[in-house]
Structure 1
Amino acid sequence: MIQRTRALFFLWLAMLMGAATCLLALTGDAAAHAALVRVEPADGAVVGTAPNSFSLTFSEPTSPLVLKLIKPDGTITTLDRFVLRDTTLDIAAPTGLGNGTHVLSWRIVSEDGHPVGGSAVFSIGAPSSGSPPNVSDAIDWPVRIAIWACKVVLYAGLFIGIGGIFFTQWIGGPSPAALRVAVGAAGAALLVTPLTVGLQGLDALGTPLSALGNAVAWTTGFSTSYGNTAIVAAISAAVALVALLAGGWIGKVLSLLALVGVGVALAASGHAGAAQPQWVTRPAVFLHAIGITFWAGSLIPLAAALRMQSPDAILALRRFSKVIPVAVLPLVAAGILLAIIQLGSPSALWSTAYGQVLIAKLVLLVALFGLAAFNRFWLTAPAERGERPATAQLVRSIRLELAIVLAIFAVAAFWRFTPPPRALAAAAAAPASVHIHSAKAMADLTITPGRVGPASASIVVMTGDFGPLDAKAVTLILANPSAGIEPIRRPATRLSDGTWQVDALNLPLPGRWAARIDILVSDFELAKLESPIDIRP
């Protein structure tokens, strides 16, 4: 009874410690999986003269990794002069750009640690004859497969290794077989963690697996938020191994710290940890990880003890059956909460790659919880009474639980390659905006969302020197002559805050539209402001 109470107390303590750590780690707004909102010059644009700069605007703050310009003759120029302004990256253009088709290529990393790449084709003067310069967007399957495989090994090492060591320290006595597996799993996590950093760097830079030996791959991997995850994960695995050597109360404390470290490591990066609100998502990821670690780590030691019919097996089973709800209930609650936040809408469950991975995981979870319920309500009681057939069946069932858990790890590792629907929705809802300036007047035009379909426009008008402008009327005119769309004229309505609003817009095609704002300054003066504005698909 005393041992069970201690286990319950310290499991709760681990959860509280980690949740507090995650909250203290919030040092500002973290970003989601970033998506491109606007690029200047726009993709497909033809400009009259060479631009002095390029501009990339993303849905969230990012950090540039690789920026390059591919010229019409195929030569590549690295763009190393840039300025970050919140979500916008302003890049200085090389001098002496000639006419023809160019490709602006970028690779950035979002604050959740995941790289995002893309390119935009634009022409100076006129498009080049023949095909534009080639930019390969093909998936590097060797790198991707290596990332997935190492992610699965890392999950198994952290959850089964560290969880198994925690179980042997707090719930049941160590069996040689269980200890060998726990040590092997924790050791695998310790060894594979640095490799995942190098692979992260390769993926971020878009370089092949053969470049893994280059120092830049490792420094790039550590520079992302995943570097923090790798450091904490490696330390946690090492601490868990030391806990076995130390034994006694020192071993118990160290195994507890290692358990906490798993939760902190997984909350430090990734889609779920980067979602808003941070004060909810990071502790939720932590609790989810702690629950998985305790449950998955307990399976092998428990099955080994029951199979060997050791004297402490029944006692360990009783302790586990009492403690497991403490881990599972927060695990389930946190998982449901994170799924709701990540999906954003029910339709994303089947319409996005992220949701389809979640469906596969849910199918496995239903089987896992069904099997766990069968074990608890039909097999645990007779096994505790020493009935050998029930004990043997329970061992087989626990092994099947372990197989399902490993399958869940394999499925969950695919999330590394799928942006969450919430990030896609945020990018789709991002507005298109432009500032138009003349000597008489100027205006800030914002179309929300800045993509094809129903939209609304907000217009702020000012004098040419940024003073207030009490206009009598404002009219918005949008046209896309290259697509055969004649001017769409909509009068704006003045709101109480002084802005002008246009509702019931419907933009049928993406591309570069011509925007004109007619400002009736007085009965005898009309200011016309014109500028292109890019509408996304």
Structure 2
Amino acid sequence: MHTGSPHARAPLAVLALVAAVAALLLGGAGPASAHSGLTGSDPADGSVLASPPPHVTLTFTETVGLSADSVRVLSPDNERVNPRPAHHADGRGNTGRVELADGLAQGTYTVAWRVVSADGHPISGAFVFSVGRPSETAAEVPDTAAGDTAAGRLHGVFRHVAYSGLALLAGAAAFVLLCWPGAGALRPVRRLLAAGWAALAVSTTALLLLRGPYETGGPLTAALDPALLGQTLTGRAGGALVVRFLLLGATAVLLLRLARRAGDPDGRAEEWCPGRRVHWTAAGLAAGLALTWAAAEHAAAGIQVPLAVPASVLHLLAMGVWLGGLATLAAVLGGRGAGGPAVPARAVGRFSTLAFAAVAVLVGTGLYQSWRQVGSWEALTTTSFGRILLVKTAAVVLMLWAASFSRRLAARVLDPAGTAGTAGATGADTGAGRVREPALAVAGTAAAGPGPAPGAPSAGAKAGPPAPGGAEGQRRRLRRTVAAEAALGVLVLTATTVLTGTQPGRAAVRSAEAAAARGPQVRVVTVPFDTGAAGHRGTVQITLSPGRVGENSVEAVVFTEDGGLAAVPEIRLNLTQTDLDIGPIDAKLTDRKGYWAAYDLRLPVPGEWNAAVTVRTGDIDQATVRAPVPVTGRPK
């Protein structure tokens, strides 16, 4: 039964390939906000509890991935007191919970946590809580950022190598397939294709091995741990890397087949023309490779994921076509020796058009991604993501400025005598049935043959003014501007790599707002007092921790007029919520030999409380002073 021509079936096969890759990478993905942040914990940071809690629960802004050591609770003696690994509390993906051992002693406990955001990047932190009363602690926690480990730094290097490999592979392939098929027989172009493929293959292998220690913060030797590698393969990022491996295998098969078709390595075989099936297959493989990034990083988390993922794919492909195509053009312009093949001027013109289209796609998708990930104008200057994005934007603007020179020079090379539109300018040879296009001839060979040079005006055509420096000067300037664009492209690639590992501005602002909502961990109020007796004046300092609804600890210290500590026979503290007519609540401070304290003061509602502090300095000398104390609600 006839099912349609191969040309008609090729687009459907490509769509099926991309859909299969998307299903593998995006299956089960839920809504999230790129780069998670801690919004709260139970017990709260800095809280003092009357009795040991049964467990510790952390809440984040988005779904997070947990490992065996994602949450560690350490005693004052630096002993781990959570016997089992962390799990999601009540099935909520944005939480992490660990059960604690029974019979915890009094003192300060440290909670160290490290989880993986939905966009594949690890985040970490630590906080403390106390049982009974605070104490000194010997607990040790990492003092570096989540990604600032040997494995994390190497992971960042190979991510840059992977982006560079994608740009070289996609750009060189696009140049061959869309601009100059004959370039596929040139050694410089083949080397670029091989270098791009090899960079992707090596970086993918390294990223797969480094993923485990990168997520867990382990040493480099953990990269060879089979259990950790197995855990990586079951995650979204590991699955994306495996799919990338499979696509690279298919790409290698296609490149080898095309290399045999293109001719001998010296490029002297007759120029070949790839068919539509080759174009569609290459497009499908390129889209699939780009999707392995989009489905595992920022685009797969946050708002509008169904729109963000294809936008990210287009952005990556446009980046590769532009930057990799520039590298290919620079290679063919600068790598021709005497007697080598001429570069058709039409190839330069086609790439100029292709680069313009790629830049248009980059601008459109870049604006959308910037809005989605930055969120506000203020975040451009107040967040790391926004500042790096400004650097990348400046580099792209400089590239466009250099590209404008390249485009004008390319136009002069295409029509050096200003004869566009004439018969001689097109070089039409109706007898041969073929268009002979002007070429960027090797220096010294343009005038070697008899007759007019390619692109010369026909008889009777009015020649335009000669280009400054002659044709060879134009070619040299074109090579320099293309090289400048390629150099700026390296800066753009570097900024892109750093951006993908940086918390987006929208998520950073949200994390900051969540931290502000939790409020400060300690409320300190200092009030002067004067009992009226000589030498019985000073200040009393009240410290309320954590200053939230629920259980709090409170400590009171008296200082003399000259700032020294003073021992007093009694301090009383009462708190009243005037607006709601609650209180007074007696804190029931007790003498702790040098200061007065209570570790079980419960405040029922948030708002501004009025603290009344009575300081007795003698048998009958005392003073009562008042001060407002803000109390926040429980973190959500």
* Conserved? CA contact 2:240–2:296, under 8 Å: yes
* Conserved? CA contact 2:374–2:504, under 8 Å: yes
* Conserved? CA contact 1:201–1:219, under 8 Å: no
Whole-Å Cα distance in 1 between the matches of residues 72 and 551 of structure 2?
Answer: 32
User: What is the CA distance between 1:91 and its match in structure 2?
Assistant: 2.5
Per-residue displacement from partner, 1:513-534 (whole Å, max 9, x unpaired)?
833389xxxxxxxxxxxx9944
Bigger shift: residues 304-313 or 336-345: 304-313
| 3-state SS of 2:105 partner | coil
| 3-state SS of 2:377 partner | coil
* Conserved? CA contact 1:18–1:286, under 8 Å: no
- Listed as ranges, the matches of 1:185-264 within 5 Å are 185-247=196-258, 248-249=274-275, 251-264=278-291
Whole-Å Cα distance in 2 between the matches of residues 206 and 141 of structure 1?
Answer: 7
Bigger shift: residues 210-219 or 99-108: 210-219
Whole-Å Cα distance in 2 between the matches of residues 70 and 50 of structure 1?
Answer: 13
Whichever residue aligns with residue 113 of structure 1, its letter is G
* Cα separation, partners in 2 of 1:488 and 1:367, compared to 1, 3 Å: farther
Per-residue displacement from partner, 1:237-259 (whole Å, max 9, x unpaired)?
33333222112546544422221
Unaligned runs of 5+ in 2: 1-9, 259-273, 416-439, 441-470, 521-547, 557-573, 582-600, 608-630
User: What is the CA distance between 1:181 and its match in structure 2?
Assistant: 1.8
Quick one: which of 109, 133, 136 aligns to 2:116?
109
Which residue is equivalent to 2:310?
283
Q: Does 1:149 align with 2:157?
A: yes
Whole-Å Cα distance in 1 between the matches of residues 485 and 475 of structure 2?
Answer: 15
* Cα separation, partners in 2 of 1:478 and 1:126, compared to 1, 3 Å: closer
Which residue is equivalent to 2:604?
515
Whole-Å Cα distance in 1 between the matches of residues 16 and 329 of structure 2?
Answer: 26
* Conserved? CA contact 1:232–1:264, under 8 Å: no
Whole-Å Cα distance in 1 between the matches of residues 176 and 122 of structure 2?
Answer: 39
Whole-Å Cα distance in 1 between the matches of residues 157 and 143 of structure 2?
Answer: 22
Which residue is equivalent to 1:392?
476
Quick one: which of 61, 84, 96 aligns to 1:79?
84
Whichever residue aligns with residue 329 of structure 2, its letter is L
Same amino acid, percent of matched pairs: 25
Q: Does 1:381 align with 2:418?
A: no
| 3-state SS of 1:62 partner | coil
- Listed as ranges, the matches of 1:333-482 within 5 Å are 333-376=364-407, 378-385=408-415, 386=440, 387-430=471-514, 449-451=517-519, 482=554
Q: What's the TM-score once normalised by structure 1's chain length?
A: 0.76
Whichever residue aligns with residue 167 of structure 1, its letter is F
User: What is the CA distance between 1:33 and its match in structure 2?
Assistant: 1.1
Whichever residue aligns with residue 284 of structure 1, its letter is A
Whole-Å Cα distance in 1 between the matches of residues 483 and 141 of structure 2?
Answer: 48
User: What is the CA distance between 1:22 and its match in structure 2?
Assistant: 5.6
User: What is the CA distance between 1:314 and its match in structure 2?
Assistant: 1.5
Quick one: which of 81, 103, 107 aligns to 1:100?
107
Whole-Å Cα distance in 1 between the matches of residues 116 and 502 of structure 2?
Answer: 14
Q: What's the TM-score once normalised by structure 2's chain length?
A: 0.65
* Cα separation, partners in 2 of 1:344 and 1:407, compared to 1, 3 Å: same
| 3-state SS of 1:134 partner | coil
**Which is helix-richer, 1 or 2?**
1
Which residue is equivalent to 2:47?
45
Whole-Å Cα distance in 2 between the matches of residues 228 and 191 of structure 1?
Answer: 17
Q: Does 1:133 align with 2:139?
A: yes
Whichever residue aligns with residue 134 of structure 1, its letter is E
Q: Does 1:170 align with 2:201?
A: no
| 3-state SS of 1:310 partner | coil
User: What is the CA distance between 1:282 and its match in structure 2?
Assistant: 1.1
Quick one: which of 115, 118, 123 aligns to 2:125?
118
User: What is the CA distance between 1:183 and its match in structure 2?
Assistant: 0.6
* Cα separation, partners in 2 of 1:88 and 1:14, compared to 1, 3 Å: same
Whole-Å Cα distance in 1 between the matches of residues 482 and 292 of structure 2?
Answer: 27
Per-residue displacement from partner, 1:160-195 (whole Å, max 9, x unpaired)?
123312322332122211111221121121111121
In terms of Rg, which structure is larger?
Answer: 2
- Listed as ranges, the matches of 1:297-316 within 5 Å are 297-307=324-334, 308=336, 310-316=341-347
User: What is the CA distance between 1:199 and its match in structure 2?
Assistant: 2.1
* Cα separation, partners in 2 of 1:135 and 1:293, compared to 1, 3 Å: same
Bigger shift: residues 107-116 or 315-324: 315-324
Whole-Å Cα distance in 2 between the matches of residues 265 and 203 of structure 1?
Answer: 18
* Conserved? CA contact 1:201–1:216, under 8 Å: no
| 3-state SS of 2:65 partner | strand
Whole-Å Cα distance in 1 between the matches of residues 405 and 14 of structure 2?
Answer: 28
| 3-state SS of 1:116 partner | strand
Unaligned runs of 5+ in 1: 1-9, 432-447, 453-475, 493-511, 519-530
Whole-Å Cα distance in 2 between the matches of residues 131 and 25 of structure 1?
Answer: 44
Whole-Å Cα distance in 1 between the matches of residues 486 and 246 of structure 2?
Answer: 25
